[in-house]
Amino acid sequence: MNEQTANQTSQVTTPTQQPPTFSEIYQSSITQPQEFWAQQAKRIYWHKEPEQILDDSNLPFAKWFVGGETNLCYNCVDRYLPERAEQDAFIWLSSEVNQELIATFPAVVDAFNDLGNNVEFYTDYTKRRLTYNDLYKEVNYFADVLQRNGIRHGDRVVIYMPMILEATYAMLACARIGAIHSVVFGGFAAHNLAIRMDDAEAKMIITVDAGLRGGKVINYKSLVNQGIEQATVKPEHVLVVDRGILPFKPQPLDVDYATERSISRNANAIVEPVWIESNEPSYLLYTSGTTGTPKGVQRDTGGHAVALATSMDYIYDGQAGETFWAISDIGWAVGHSYMVYAPLLAGMTSVVYEGLPHRPNPGIWWRIVEANKVNILFTAPTGVRMLKKQDETWMTRYDVSSVKSFFLAGEPLDESTAQWLKQHLGVPILDHYWQTESGWPILSNTPKFNHKPHKQGSPGYPMYGYDAHVINEETGEPCAAGEKGLLAIRAPLPPGCLTTVWRNDERFISSYYSLFDGKQYSTSDYAVVDEDGYFHILGRTDDVINVAGHRLGTQEIEEAISTHPEMAECAVVGIHDELKGELPIAFCVLRDQALVATTENRFRLEQQIIGAVVKSLGGIARPAAVYFPPALPKTRSGKILRRAIRALAEGRPTGDMSTLDNPAAIDAVKQAMKDY
Ligand code: AMP
């Protein structure tokens, strides 16, 4: 297919050529997946057409669009130059870069000049607009910089950056030359960085001098230096975007991006896109699992592009020329899919926001919506719950009538938050459900099709391509309506979902496909389907917790705590929190219980333990409380009963504890919480 047809919306059509209903779309995607996805594949430009739509001969390893060659960056940027060169591709807003910050760090203004223009300074925020044409140039410069610094097709590049436009150029430039990016969330600490660098064997790290959060300066470069020290596999270069916040004194591996950019710019560098076979990895994104080592979710190239382009139309109803704002972070799957790739694949404008929801005031989101006529919003419920605590009048000061839909995901959307938002904004509030692994929604509502009304408490129903059902955990039999079970998806997963765990096919199978016949993907979420076919999510089946929409493995936190020399053993569980959904709390058994005999000592140890977690994993994993029981409840086989501990922490009954090896530990845990 050529570029003209690639731009056209592709739909499954019924024999009468009526636009299809959602039910027809869903059915055709399940019963005729090859035909369905062959149609959707027309949404993107293929340098070489796929030879085979689906190779499912080696499930659960599915290959989509086999033999097809494409390039994500070309599809996001170059393809839109003829029609949309002067349309904004990105609008960047930072409430962190305000006049106060500029007064403290005047070099910030020079840095903007060095990194390209289009900057507007306001008292309380800074704005940068970037057209598709500007983006084309910047991505080419960036790709040229990468190539001149030795990065080639297949190399891994770690991106550890805050929410600035250079982070998006870095991702797109990697995609342009076929390098595999691995973005690490900026809130993670040096240890997290090191394990990701090692696992991916990263050849380059791209970072900044500093990030900003609530006016606080975060020394990214120093965290990168520490990460490199801890890593076994050292990168060849560290490419630094100097924002002019902290003094940047280049060290031997460091390369200054502004200097490199000016070389590429003076040469008007154009880097031809590398055509990538559809199944080659486009990126890695590490996510928490039940072990202490995060899994490198591997995404393909062609399937990823087709899936995102289709979802932008069928699920979000986002059309070329419209504006999409995913209020998230590029370090998460939402940031990858719906801040960078999907809006550009659809020819839309994407808003990138560096800042908090209530700074400089709780009206900032709506002011941005009004000023930029945002059409579709997407965030996690936590951000909204933060706003709920503020003066409500901020909710109605701005005109948000441009918004067609406001999607929420990442954690359960509680009824009061949903109602509050709906009442104050007057726009449709739609819950939907997906995972880092899927990369796009598994369950959703579909405003474009008017299929079923949104039902409070449910993220919707299965999206096309997902043969999703709730099954009995033990027998694998489908659950009846109203019966709780495991949310599973029959293989193959549709295009765009993880294809494996980076260099670890065994872990891919053991983490996701160890159930029954080995062909059911386990989401690790409990769910129930109601009489009307709506799915409801009932929480994780494993030891993964969800803090403010971010996934954390309790074992990662336990490993960080275990580095404390006085620790005998510990258990971390997540407890319900009104604002953040869940919070980790730690139960620590010391080698010598006498160490916490006094309140003063207990406090000191608590601070040391919290400090160890923050240093290793970042503030996001900070335990909300640390208790010191003399023992933890265990089964006879020595397994710590985290479910019982969690029940105790939440004041719920523990259930039958007769099989416990040490029943006295239950009272010990209760007592430790009382002593706190
Ligand atoms: P992550 O991979 O970090 O996006 O986390 C995915 C997990 O977040 C899922 O497995 C669910 O446990 C949870 N989750 C995501 N969206 C929802 C939702 N709409 N309702 C309830 N839980 C959700």
CA angle at residue 86 from 82 to 91, to 5 degrees? 125
The tokens for 167 are: 């982070």
3-state secondary structure of 364: helix
Separation of alpha carbons 167 and 180, rounded Å: 14
Beta strands in 225-320 (DSSP E): 237-241, 254-256, 276-277, 283-287, 295-299
Phi, psi torsion values for 521, nearest 5 degrees: -75, 125
Answer yes or no: is the C-beta of 537 below 6 A from any ligand 1 atom.
Answer: yes
- The CATH architecture to which 546-675 belongs is 2-Layer Sandwich (3.30)
Answer yes or no: is the C-beta of 546 below 6 A from any ligand 1 atom.
Answer: yes
Identify the residue whose C-alpha is closest to ligand 1 atom 4.
435
Separation of alpha carbons 608 and 626, rounded Å: 10
* C-alpha 540 – ligand 1 centre gap (Å): 9
Q: Mutation test of ligand 1: which of 328, 411, 463 has the most ligand atoms closer than 8 Å to its C-beta?
A: 411
- Only one residue has tokens 């085979």, namely 52
- Whole-number pLDDT of residue 12: 55
Separation of alpha carbons 500 and 511, rounded Å: 10
For 94, the enclosing helix (H) or strand (E) is: strand 88-94
Helices (H) and strands (E) in the chain, counts: 23, 33
Closest by CA to 574, choosing from 621, 612, 616, 610, is: 621
- Whole-number pLDDT of residue 659: 63
User: Which residue type is seen at 390?
Assistant: Q
Separation of alpha carbons 347 and 79, rounded Å: 9
Q: How far is CA 652 from CA 93, 99, 152, 283, 670, in A?
A: 44, 50, 55, 42, 12
Q: Is the pTM of this model over 0.85?
A: yes
Answer yes or no: is the C-beta of 331 below 6 A from any ligand 1 atom.
Answer: no
CA angle at residue 202 from 55 to 164, to 5 degrees? 95
- Whole-number pLDDT of residue 496: 98
* C-alpha 550 – ligand 1 centre gap (Å): 9
Answer yes or no: is the C-beta of 337 below 6 A from any ligand 1 atom.
Answer: no
CA dihedral 311, 314, 319, 325 (to 10 degrees): -50
Separation of alpha carbons 46 and 53, rounded Å: 13
| Per-domain residue ranges of the chain | 3-70, 546-675
Separation of alpha carbons 556 and 616, rounded Å: 9
Tell me the angle at which helices 107-114 and 257-266 cross, rounded to the nearest 10 degrees.
Answer: 30
Separation of alpha carbons 307 and 439, rounded Å: 9
Q: Is the dihedral of CA 658, 664, 667, 672 positive or negative?
A: negative
* C-alpha 414 – ligand 1 centre gap (Å): 13
Answer whether 628's CB lies under 8 Å from 672's CB.
yes
Closest by CA to 73, choosing from 273, 269, 338, 284, is: 273
Answer whether 151's CB lies under 8 Å from 179's CB.
yes
Separation of alpha carbons 584 and 35, rounded Å: 46
- Whole-number pLDDT of residue 56: 97
The tokens for 33 are: 């997946």
The tokens for 73 are: 């960056």
For residue 671, what are the contacts with CB-CB under 8 A and spacing of at least 6? 629
Q: How far is CA 1 from CA 83, 208, 250, in A?
A: 18, 40, 47
The tokens for 189 are: 């600490």
Answer yes or no: is the C-beta of 460 below 6 A from any ligand 1 atom.
Answer: no
Answer yes or no: is the C-beta of 525 below 6 A from any ligand 1 atom.
Answer: yes
Rg of the chain over CA atoms, in angstroms?
25
Answer yes or no: is the C-beta of 297 below 6 A from any ligand 1 atom.
Answer: no
Separation of alpha carbons 324 and 634, rounded Å: 49
Answer whether 75's CB lies under 8 Å from 45's CB.
yes
Identify the residue whose C-alpha is closest to ligand 1 atom 7.
435
Task: Report the nearest atom of ligand 1 relative to the CA of 539.
Answer: 12
Answer whether 66's CB lies under 8 Å from 531's CB.
no
Mean pLDDT of each 10-residue bin along the chain, 676 residues long: 41 66 97 98 98 97 98 98 98 97 96 90 94 98 98 98 98 98 92 94 98 96 96 98 95 96 98 98 89 88 98 98 97 97 98 96 96 97 88 94 96 88 94 97 95 92 98 93 96 98 96 90 95 93 87 87 89 91 94 89 94 91 94 79 87 75 86 84
